[in-house]
Chains A and B, each alone.
Chain A
Amino acid sequence: MNALDLARWQFGITTVYHFFFVPITIGLIWLVAGFQTAWVRTGKDKYLRATKFWGKLFLINFAMGVVTGIVQEFQFGMNWSEYSRFVGDIFGAPLAMEGLMAFFLESTFVGLWIFGWDRLPKKVHLATVWLAAFGTTLSAYFILAANAFMQHPVAYRVPAGYSPSQPPATGERATLTSIVTLLTQKTALIAFGHTISAALLTGAAFMLGISVWHLTRGRFVDVMRASLKLSGITAICAMVAVGLTGHLDAQVMTQQQPMKMAAAEALWDTTSNAGFSIFTLGSLDGSQEVFSLRIPGVTSLLATNSIHGTVEGFNDLQAAAVAKYGPGNYKPNIPVTYWSFRFMIGGGAIVALFAALSLWFFRRERTFESKWWGRLALLMVVTPLFANSFGWIFTEMGRQPWIVYGLLLVANSASIAVSATEVWISMIVFTLLYGALAVVEVWLLAKYAKAGPSEVTSDDADAGYDSRNTDQPLTFAY
């Protein structure tokens, strides 16, 4: 493999890995904030225990998200220096804003929240968790606005005579013309809605899986019943939002990146009344369809709101791209794009279904002591993680061969100063370290999830808040 392929693999590995932790963080912190608010309002012990229990699991996961996030910001310069030079005037702005407006908020207030149980007044302490939640979500917005530029570049200018399919000359770059347009383009707003609802679904599935697992064993019933209710309802609502925003996303994508939609649907030739493919096999060279099972009209409906709408096929799009940009292969990897799209949708739907069934089985005071339902519940913790990853693999792989759609090729973006050996070293080291940390993290999460909530009471917690100016032991420390 050459340095370019390796840099792509490394970006894929480190980003997919980072995004296992991020959606859990974003989803779970809002739920924890919800529990702490419920406790402050009602004073019921079960809400306090839920806050502390899910808070502890949140932090084990949060640590991984933080440290793997640093790699993400450095990586653009380390492996993709020519990309950074070309788009830095545009792409750097949302990244810097993310740091200044979101990361500071998130990290400072998470610190205050962890250590603030007996150092802050009760309501101020509650505010810290909401501010941290707001910070995590805001950071998602900025990074998605940056990614939206890669999907659909807006608000930019390039020098006259610039050719997107060629490496940029020294000093040749895209420059920003409007920050407002960059941050508010439809692609960014829809991606934000879609990603945040997916994150809520992921956080909810995490809580749902663990609480159902305990409930099927009849353990910690009061805390877990409250957790099931909150997470189950959140999961179902989030799935509806994921579907709606996904639909909007598909429509925008059809207009902006028709090639990606064609690949998602394995649509070889331009078709009206295009069917939604349930299963499609192509010929080995990928130029034609061999077998396909389709629901008539659904792809046209998804993409254009009409079952008779025309959806372009990638053979036609390839010919058009060659005419526009010059010779080259402008098709993404069709099987990867096609299947990742389906796994994404399937993964999300299964969790919502499981949430609905679990809410039903445990409705009112009912119990459902089934070991296998408990095991299935744990599977629900990981299902949305893979659905999210498939979603991103689809989004990013479907944009290939472009790094910025129609503006810069991935092939012209990698660092010149970095040798294949160096990328090999960093890729191997990251993969080994990430692998080892994943084992530790999952093991710790399992240990703490299994141990269940501690027997803390509202009186203990109130004593902590009251003693904040005296010499009391910290209630929460490393």
Chain B
Amino acid sequence: MTLADFWFILIAVLWIGYFFLEGFDFGVGNLLPALGRTEDDRRLMINTIGPVWDGNEVWLLVAGGATFAAFPNWYATLFSGFYLALLVILLALILRGVAFEYRGKVDSDVWRARWDWAIFFGSVLPSVLWGVAFGNIVHGVPINASGTYTGSFFTLLNPYALLAGLVTAGLFTTHGATYLALKTSGDLRNRAHALMPLLGLVTAVLAVVFLGWTLLTAGEPVTWVTSVVAAAALLGAIAMNRAGRDGWSFILTGVTIAFAVTTLFVTLFPDVMPSSTDPAYSLTVVNASSTHYTLKVMTVVALIFTPIVLAYQAWTFWVFRRRLSTSDLPPDAGRQVETAASS
């Protein structure tokens, strides 16, 4: 295995980490209108991801930075080619991040409702668009001899990629439901728990069609195995939900995400961005990568710091392991500041 191969795997791991972690906080956002019937419900939902969403999002920044460092050509072609799609993702992430921090800062129903919509759309759009982006990466897009994307925004909206978008949206929403069932108590927990099997089944159907399509066009023995594991894990998550085992259910929706992403990356290898114009123009692990020296430096850094990051992020989840209920929430800051001003 070359260092470039190793970095291809590492980037796959970073995306798995990102989709596993931000997957559930996107899912919580996607479910905000459906499960958050009262203001207390919605606040509770947001506070289950409060301490961790920002750390989760850094996985995206590191995946992006690692792609820049290890595969500059991939980074350049992908980010300039998928320009408008990434723009929408950026706008969504901006609004969503600000919304978490600002929604409780003013004691007004209208104010909170607006930020709730920002959280909802800020979660739904990336949930769909990341799938669309990866669908296109795997499927291949028009790329010319100098490695430049020659399609348009609408080239990206093909059936395979749109289906991939529905699958990621479904997976993240299901993952969010298992997270809420695990992290809350009371009425909200019961509703999240009750909704999960339905979400899981719909997602399973979408995922089977999508993975089947992938396997029939570019299947390899390994991807057949990973696809079956992904599908089985999702069914297992539903079974665990029925058995009342919230922790296992959450872990298994995570396993589903991990194996679905693995399937895509194995299908992709040794390309990193296949060209639909001419396979000779495809960006590959070899022609898109950095030099051996840079990869060596980055390998040392990654081998030292990834375990440290995993350790302190795992510790964070341990610190905030307790289930939350509406009785845990103090009056929000907006209410506090207005009380202080009027007294």
Check B90 against A170 for contact (C-beta < 8 Å): no
What's the Cα separation between A115 and B54 when bound, in Å? 13
**Minimum CB–CB distance for B56 against chain A, Å:** 9
| Chain B residues numbered 29-77 whose CB sits less than 8 Å from any CB in chain A | 43, 46-47, 50-55, 57-58, 60-62, 64-66, 68-70, 72-73, 75-77
Given A96-B62, A176-B293, A474-B329, do A448 and B55 touch, yes or no (CB 8 Å)? no
Check A112 against B297 for contact (C-beta < 8 Å): no
Chain A residues near B312: list those with CB within 8 A: 104-105, 108-109
Task: Give chain B's interface residue range (CB within 8 Å of chain A).
Answer: 35 or more
In-complex Cβ contact of A88 among B58, B68, B150, B320 (8 A): B68
Answer yes or no: A326 CB below 8 A from chain B CBs: no
What's the Cα separation between A89 and B72 when bound, in Å? 7
| Chain B residues numbered 308-343 whose CB sits less than 8 Å from any CB in chain A | 309, 312-313, 316, 319-320, 327-330, 332-333, 336-337, 340-341
Nearest-CB residue, chain B, relative to A142: B65
Given A60-B101, A60-B102, A119-B320, do A474 and B91 touch, yes or no (CB 8 Å)? no
Answer yes or no: B217 CB below 8 A from chain A CBs: no
Chain A residues near B320: list those with CB within 8 A: 115, 119
Answer yes or no: B104 CB below 8 A from chain A CBs: yes
Task: Tally the A-B contacts, defined by beta carbons under 8 Å.
Answer: 260
| Chain B residues numbered 101-131 whose CB sits less than 8 Å from any CB in chain A | 101-106
Nearest-CB residue, chain A, relative to B61: A99
Chain A residues near B329: list those with CB within 8 A: 473-474, 477
Answer yes or no: A63 CB below 8 A from chain B CBs: yes
Check A471 against B94 for contact (C-beta < 8 Å): no
What's the Cα separation between A116 and B318 when bound, in Å? 12
Interface size on A, residues (CB 8 A): 82
In-complex Cβ contact of A179 among B53, B61, B297, B316 (8 A): B297
Nearest-CB residue, chain A, relative to B78: A77
Chain A residues near B302: list those with CB within 8 A: 100
| Chain A residues numbered 52-92 whose CB sits less than 8 Å from any CB in chain B | 56, 59-60, 62-64, 66-71, 73-74, 76-79, 81-82, 84-85, 87-92
Given A92-B68, A92-B72, do A104 and B58 touch, yes or no (CB 8 Å)? yes
Given A100-B309, A478-B47, do A440 and B330 touch, yes or no (CB 8 Å)? no
Interface SS of chain B: helix, strand, loop or mixed? helix
Of A308-316, A349-357, A422-430, the one with at least 4 CB within 8 A of chain B? A422-430
In-complex Cβ contact of A107 among B54, B73, B75, B340 (8 A): B54
Answer yes or no: A95 CB below 8 A from chain B CBs: yes
Answer yes or no: A93 CB below 8 A from chain B CBs: yes
In-complex Cβ contact of A115 among B50, B149, B294 (8 A): B50
Of B79-87, B161-169, B229-237, B242-250, the one with at least 4 CB within 8 A of chain A? B79-87
Given A73-B61, A422-B83, do A176 and B294 touch, yes or no (CB 8 Å)? yes
Check A104 against B91 for contact (C-beta < 8 Å): no
What's the Cα separation between A64 and B65 when bound, in Å? 20
Check B68 against A478 for contact (C-beta < 8 Å): no
In-complex Cβ contact of B72 among A74, A84, A179, A425 (8 A): A84
Chain B residues near A448: list those with CB within 8 A: 105, 333, 337
**Minimum CB–CB distance for B300 against chain A, Å:** 9
**Minimum CB–CB distance for A334 against chain B, Å:** 32
Most chain A Cβ neighbours within 10 Å, of B87, B145, B329, B336: B87
Answer yes or no: A50 CB below 8 A from chain B CBs: no
What's the Cα separation between A70 and B79 when bound, in Å? 13
Answer yes or no: A376 CB below 8 A from chain B CBs: no
Nearest-CB residue, chain B, relative to A180: B297
What's the Cα separation between A429 and B100 when bound, in Å? 21
Given A107-B55, A429-B91, A477-B329, do A79 and B305 touch, yes or no (CB 8 Å)? no
In-complex Cβ contact of B105 among A60, A77, A415, A473 (8 A): A60
Nearest-CB residue, chain A, relative to B296: A179
Check B69 against A96 for contact (C-beta < 8 Å): yes
Check B69 against A433 for contact (C-beta < 8 Å): no
Answer yes or no: A244 CB below 8 A from chain B CBs: no
Check B81 against A417 for contact (C-beta < 8 Å): yes
What's the Cα separation between A101 and B81 when bound, in Å? 29
| Chain A residues numbered 128-172 whose CB sits less than 8 Å from any CB in chain B | 170
Check A111 against B76 for contact (C-beta < 8 Å): no
Answer yes or no: B286 CB below 8 A from chain A CBs: no
Answer yes or no: B222 CB below 8 A from chain A CBs: no
Answer yes or no: A287 CB below 8 A from chain B CBs: no
Chain A residues near B70: list those with CB within 8 A: 92, 96
Chain B residues near A77: list those with CB within 8 A: 64, 68, 75-76, 78-80
What's the Cα separation between A76 and B67 when bound, in Å? 12
What's the Cα separation between A14 and B291 when bound, in Å? 31
Chain A residues near B146: list those with CB within 8 A: 170, 416
Chain B residues near A422: list those with CB within 8 A: 83-84
Answer yes or no: A295 CB below 8 A from chain B CBs: no
Most chain A Cβ neighbours within 10 Å, of B93, B105, B150: B105
Nearest-CB residue, chain A, relative to B72: A88
Check B68 against A95 for contact (C-beta < 8 Å): yes
Answer yes or no: A322 CB below 8 A from chain B CBs: no
Answer yes or no: A120 CB below 8 A from chain B CBs: yes
Answer yes or no: A110 CB below 8 A from chain B CBs: yes
Given A108-B55, A454-B336, do A101 and B305 touch, yes or no (CB 8 Å)? yes
Check A79 against B80 for contact (C-beta < 8 Å): yes
Across the A-B interface, the 5 shortest Cβ-Cβ residue pairs: A88-B72, A77-B79, A92-B69, A92-B68, A81-B80
Q: A76-B68, A84-B72, A88-B73 are in contact. List 11 more A-B contacts (CB 8 A).
A: A68-B94, A70-B94, A74-B86, A79-B80, A89-B291, A96-B62, A96-B66, A99-B64, A429-B91, A447-B337, A455-B340
24 contacts between A and B (CB under 8 A): A62-B101, A66-B97, A67-B94, A67-B98, A73-B64, A77-B64, A77-B78, A78-B86, A81-B148, A88-B290, A89-B290, A92-B65, A99-B65, A99-B66, A100-B65, A108-B58, A111-B55, A176-B293, A415-B76, A416-B80, A447-B337, A448-B105, A477-B43, A478-B50
A residues with CB within 8 A of B = 56, 59-60, 62-64, 66-71, 73-74, 76-79, 81-82, 84-85, 87-93, 95-101, 103-105, 107-112, 114-116, 119-120, 170, 173, 175-177, 179, 415-418, 422, 425-426, 429, 433, 437, 440, 444, 447-448, 451-452, 454-455, 471-478
